[in-house]
Amino acid sequence: MSKVRFTLNILAVALFTLTVASMAQAQATRTWVSGVGDDVNPCSRTAPCKTYAGAISKTAKDGEISTLDPGGFGTVTITKSITINGGNGGQGYGSILSALAPQGVLINITDAADVRKSVKLDWLNINGASTGTSGIRMIAGNTLHVENCLIDGMVSHGVNVDMNTANAGVKVSVHNTIIRNCAGTGVRTNTVAGGQIKSVVSSCHITSCGTGIDQVNGTIGSIHDCMVSNNGTGIQTAEPTAGSVANVDTTSLTNNSGTALNVVGSSRIRIANCFIAQNNVSLAPAANVDSGGNNNIVGNNTNTAPAGTPFNQN
């Protein structure tokens, strides 16, 4: 009887080992989704999956999910380094409808074995349909790249980096992206005490949001070549646990119903080559805004000039 049990135990261990090995082999470096795919498929190019959530379990860490054709690919939670490519420009956006959902994309990478903890989201159209909470929300990870995306109709934020750990090495880049109709903020970066986020927002159009860009709690940010218009507040740097710095250049801030550049507490904003027009207030408080002396501030209800430390272009 004991020999039978021993044999059965050996067979069970062998079966478990083969199952784990099979699962590992099933994860490909590149997987595919299609509007006419099926999540029971292996997510290969000839047998694609239907959703990003279905493909991500079959995609290896540091791998890529590619989109074969336009379609609705569902909300997704990301727990490992990965790239989601929604169409590579020529095939339209990979659509995520996040109506009534907490977020279209949730990034929560905590695995110590995942050294990069990096996510790239490219050519995605995330639609909250005026009921989804946030377009992209990151609560754990090291690096987030958002490029060539459209985020629309959120009751909270478009891109919300809301770190739940004091990670001092977080990097965020949002490039060539349109964010509109978000009741909260277009791009918001925030971390707990002791953390720091380094962010870049470039070549973006952020419109019809409560606040265009809000950098909170130790964010060191660069904002370049953007249009921030028709929001409540344009760009804000804030606390409460640590001051933030926003370096803003070659950016247009227009028709914001509140303050175009708003600084809270000990935070600062530095501006160069900016066009600030037709807002309620151009900037406040003036002492916390440093200037390169080459900005155009005109046509605001209150045309406040920067009164911080001037700096020169070399």
Question: What is the C-alpha separation between 19 and 8, in angstroms, rounded?
Answer: 16
What confidence score (pLDDT) does residue 3 get? 54
- Give the DSSP letter string of 140-160: E-SEEEEES-EEEEESS-SEE
Domain 30-298, CATH homologous superfamily name and number = Single-stranded right-handed beta-helix, Pectin lyase-like (2.160.20.10)
Q: What is the pLDDT of residue 169?
A: 81
**pLDDT of amino acid 22:** 43
Q: For each of the chain's 314 residues, which pLDDT tens digit applies?
A: 455 454 545 555 545 444 433 444 469 999 999 999 999 999 999 999 999 999 999 999 999 999 999 889 999 999 999 999 998 655 668 999 999 999 999 999 999 999 999 999 999 999 999 999 999 999 999 999 999 999 999 999 999 999 877 676 899 999 999 999 999 999 999 987 667 899 999 999 999 999 999 998 889 999 999 999 999 999 999 887 778 999 999 999 999 999 999 999 989 999 999 999 999 999 999 999 999 989 999 999 999 999 999 887 65
Helix/strand/coil for 76 = strand
- pLDDT for 114 equals 96
Write the CB contacts of 7 (distance below 8 Å, at least 6 apart in sequence).
none
Q: Are 210 and 184 in contact (CB under 8 A)?
A: yes
Sequence-distant (6+) residues with CB within 8 A of 60 are: 27, 28, 29
Question: What is the reported pLDDT for 93?
Answer: 80
Q: Would you state the structure tokens that stand for residue 17, as one six-digit string?
A: 């080992």
What is the reported pTM?
0.90
**Single-letter residue type at 158:** G
Domain ranges of the chain: 30-298
Task: Quote the CA–CA distance of 167 and 242 in Å, as a whole number.
Answer: 14
At residue 200, the pLDDT reads: 98
Q: Is 243 helix (H, G, I), strand (E, B) or coil?
A: coil
Q: Which residues contact 8 (CB under 8 A, 6 or more apart)?
A: none
